[in-house]
A and B are shown apart, each in its own frame.
Chain A
């Protein structure tokens, strides 16, 4: 091996020693994806259930009792309280102790028998509009079921029912969207922030100058800093994939080598962004905040994994196109979830490769051997 090659390897070893020495940061780096996958996989869901319900029963008859029992039996509701007065609703809502209230008027049961018609009032705390909508609808369904089961004579005409099937994801879990999202986020975090901060740190401490006056080529000094993070990131990708396959039962439907290759491309793009920040930033604080606000937040916002891009105003939808994580996220979804091949993602690949190249070239042009 040439002398330069040996030097390069020595430098990489030095950088590895730096990274591995900082146990706390390492723990976070490997712990973060694991904890996120577990939270997303087992704690969060978009399903609405166990909602706290308040019942105001002025009627206290057989029919209202039967409907209350039916509501109680459904796992959507958790009956908090049966109250005698409507005045209490406001207080209970304001204390956040219930999200929806059902009011049976006096004489509910006898109205139903004598007039064939009676009304139930459903009051929802609509400060959370989606939950309010869903809960009102659940209640309507329960009441409807009661009506068809108990009240309707067999000859009641014109009943239209529905049979609903949730395709792909019956429990409304988010695994399909968040596994690719967590991958993009963690890779961004490791590559952009770690690289940028560790280079700026050497600038701040003054050790960068010592490295730069050595006969070793300055470009290689910087490159050798990126290598450990490349390897760390690949370990992270592997651990996220293993978790999603074995813990979340979310298999990789497409080609694994292709997924790893595209991940490597995204890692290189992120490293290039990290280098770019480190070349410009003077203090660690600036480097951190810029990578945080300029890279991580856009990744969270615009990759489409936490927030639906289609609901955003047009301007923000255009902005989302310049966020590299969005393209990576699309690729991972295509490969992992839909099982598509390279022909479906060549465009994304080109965009990422172009971004990486652009930032690498700009960084090396701007890279100044003299720091002062």
Chain B
């Protein structure tokens, strides 16, 4: 125990001595937390719409009015030919094209049905998907309303199934509310992973590790002495992040704070374990940096931070389940946004405990005192 305390004292002195590093550890994540949710904004609004109107009827005009009044769309141009609208898509001035066929109103009344043509620039997949979804909803509502208010003689309206949608946990559909917890999870992971990976390697490169190796300090003492300071730094970063999330974005955890910290405490051990493991396999800081960058990059991409995990192919879903970051992001979103309790996150907790044991045991075994 005494050994560990001395080791801790040494580590903390080293951390506090390097002022630039300390500033980077504490300041940079905070700046990122302020900027990232602003940049990682996949909220879809101001979809640029180009309309090809072959039918200058009141129905067509009313439909266009409804679309522009919905707030999602900006009518950039009304064209006479589809090619003209397509040119707008090619020059990026339109995202979506809506084509209203000739004699739309006349045929709609006479033949009972008409089909509108929608084309979306799918290079931006999110915008194309959501844009057509919004457009469909507006057109469907308009069609339904026309039918109900229709005074056409003799046409009895068919049976109608009404959809009553409600959005839980985030009724204003605020995208930043969704991103802030995920980004905080990533930041804590990066700080923990990089710092612990670099730290031991630094001693290797400087040769000071040899001095420690010839002392009677035991392997696991040394590793614990390295783990605890970064574990504390991780908790501090997380706390600062929560405060910023609250002050800047108004994100207040709906669930229990104690539960969040409990999960974080275990998760951080897993992340630090990965960092230590990397440091036992590398000789130079450059190697350690690149290898941790490589893994953190993959972890972030495969964590479901930006894209839905469910839509991945089977093999990729398996990979994402082997990724500790996936679990932390899910837990953050569950507890912060939905107020999930301990029993909801038990499976996540179990998996993270397994990760912690595996990575740390592996790191201790692989750390050799003799080079």
Binding site for B on A (CB under 8 A): 22, 24-25, 28-29, 31-32, 35-36, 39-40, 42-52, 78, 91, 93-96, 99, 112-113, 116-134, 136-141, 143-144, 146-147, 151-170, 172-174, 176-177, 189, 193-194, 197-198, 201, 284-286, 288-289, 292-293, 297, 301-302, 306-308, 311-313, 316, 337
Q: Are A25 and B287 in contact (CB under 8 A)?
A: yes
Q: Are A133 and B294 in contact (CB under 8 A)?
A: no
Is B137 located at the chain interface by the 8 A CB criterion?
Answer: yes
Q: Are B291 and A94 in contact (CB under 8 A)?
A: no
Is B87 located at the chain interface by the 8 A CB criterion?
Answer: no
Q: Can you sample 23 A-B contacts with CB below 8 Å?
A: A25-B287, A29-B290, A49-B311, A51-B308, A51-B310, A94-B339, A95-B344, A126-B171, A127-B337, A137-B133, A147-B159, A157-B150, A158-B109, A158-B152, A160-B140, A161-B115, A164-B136, A166-B132, A168-B122, A201-B284, A292-B293, A308-B124, A311-B41
Give Cα A317–Cα B236 distance, bound, in whole angstroms: 31
Q: Enumerate chain B residues within 8 angstroms of A172, measured Cβ to Cβ.
A: 122, 125, 128-129
Q: Enumerate chain A residues within 8 angstroms of B202, measured Cβ to Cβ.
A: 285
Beyond A24-B290, A32-B297, A301-B39, 20 additional pairs, beta carbon < 8 A: A22-B286, A40-B301, A43-B319, A48-B129, A116-B160, A120-B161, A122-B164, A132-B170, A134-B129, A137-B137, A158-B143, A160-B116, A164-B118, A166-B120, A173-B125, A193-B289, A292-B289, A307-B40, A307-B42, A311-B41
Q: Enumerate chain B residues within 8 angstroms of A143, measured Cβ to Cβ.
A: 161, 163
Min CB distance, B66 to chain A, in Å? 12
Q: Are A156 and B147 in contact (CB under 8 A)?
A: yes
**Segment of B50-58, B174-182, B239-247, B358-366 engaged in the interface with chain A:** B174-182
Q: Are B173 and A132 in contact (CB under 8 A)?
A: yes
Q: Are B289 and A122 in contact (CB under 8 A)?
A: no
Q: Are A129 and B120 in contact (CB under 8 A)?
A: no
Q: Are B294 and A31 in contact (CB under 8 A)?
A: yes
Known: A126-B167, A308-B124. A165 touches B150 (CB 8 A): no
Q: Are B173 and A316 in contact (CB under 8 A)?
A: no
Q: Enumerate chain A residues within 8 angstroms of B32, measured Cβ to Cβ.
A: 297
The 6 closest A-B pairs by CB, nearest first: A46-B125, A172-B125, A126-B167, A43-B316, A137-B133, A166-B122
Give Cα A39–Cα B315 distance, bound, in whole angstroms: 11
Q: Are A129 and B146 in contact (CB under 8 A)?
A: no
Q: Are B344 and A94 in contact (CB under 8 A)?
A: yes
Q: Are A288 and B306 in contact (CB under 8 A)?
A: no
Is B102 located at the chain interface by the 8 A CB criterion?
Answer: no
Q: Are A285 and B285 in contact (CB under 8 A)?
A: yes
Contact with A along B138-149 (1 / 0, CB 8 A): 011011001100
Looking at the complex, which one of A46, A119, A157 makes contact with B164 (CB distance below 8 Å)? A119
Q: Are B116 and A163 in contact (CB under 8 A)?
A: yes
Is B224 located at the chain interface by the 8 A CB criterion?
Answer: no
Inter-chain contact total with CB atoms closer than 8 Å: 342
Contact with A along B22-37 (1 / 0, CB 8 A): 0010001000100110
Query: Who on chain B is nearest to A78 by CB?
Result: B310
Q: Are A48 and B161 in contact (CB under 8 A)?
A: no
Is B223 located at the chain interface by the 8 A CB criterion?
Answer: no
Give Cα A156–Cα B136 distance, bound, in whole angstroms: 19
Looking at the complex, which one of B113, B120, B174 makes contact with A164 (CB distance below 8 Å)? B120
Q: Are A146 and B161 in contact (CB under 8 A)?
A: yes
Give Cα A35–Cα B302 distance, bound, in whole angstroms: 12
Q: Are A286 and B20 in contact (CB under 8 A)?
A: yes
Known: A164-B132, A284-B286, A301-B35. A121 touches B126 (CB 8 A): no
Known: A42-B316, A94-B341. A140 touches B146 (CB 8 A): no
Q: Are B174 and A129 in contact (CB under 8 A)?
A: yes
Give Cα A311–Cα B165 distance, bound, in whole angstroms: 27
Is B312 located at the chain interface by the 8 A CB criterion?
Answer: yes
Known: A50-B311, A307-B39. A155 touches B166 (CB 8 A): no
Q: Enumerate chain B residues within 8 angstroms of A289, measured Cβ to Cβ.
A: 21, 24, 28
Q: Are A47 and B125 in contact (CB under 8 A)?
A: yes
Query: Who on chain B is nearest to A293 by CB?
Result: B28
Min CB distance, A249 to chain B, in Å? 15
Q: Are B41 and A307 in contact (CB under 8 A)?
A: yes
Query: Who on chain A is nearest to B46 by CB?
Result: A310
Give Cα A26–Cα B304 distance, bound, in whole angstroms: 29
Q: Are B158 and A156 in contact (CB under 8 A)?
A: yes
Q: Enumerate chain B residues within 8 angstroms of A154, measured Cβ to Cβ.
A: 112
Q: Are B308 and A48 in contact (CB under 8 A)?
A: yes
Min CB distance, B318 to chain A, in Å? 11
Is B233 located at the chain interface by the 8 A CB criterion?
Answer: no
Contact with A along B61-79 (1 / 0, CB 8 A): 0000000000000000000
Q: Enumerate chain A residues within 8 angstroms of B316, measured Cβ to Cβ.
A: 39, 42-44
Min CB distance, B232 to chain A, in Å? 19
Q: Enumerate chain B residues within 8 angstroms of A140, measured Cβ to Cβ.
A: 136-137, 140, 163, 165
Known: A122-B166, A127-B337, A129-B43. A157 touches B287 (CB 8 A): no
Is B38 located at the chain interface by the 8 A CB criterion?
Answer: yes
Min CB distance, A325 to chain B, in Å? 14
Give Cα A130–Cα B93 distance, bound, in whole angstroms: 23
Q: Are A157 and B167 in contact (CB under 8 A)?
A: no
Query: Who on chain A is nearest to B160 by CB?
Result: A117
Query: Who on chain B is nearest to A49 by CB?
Result: B311
Give Cα A370–Cα B344 distance, bound, in whole angstroms: 62
Q: Are A130 and B130 in contact (CB under 8 A)?
A: yes
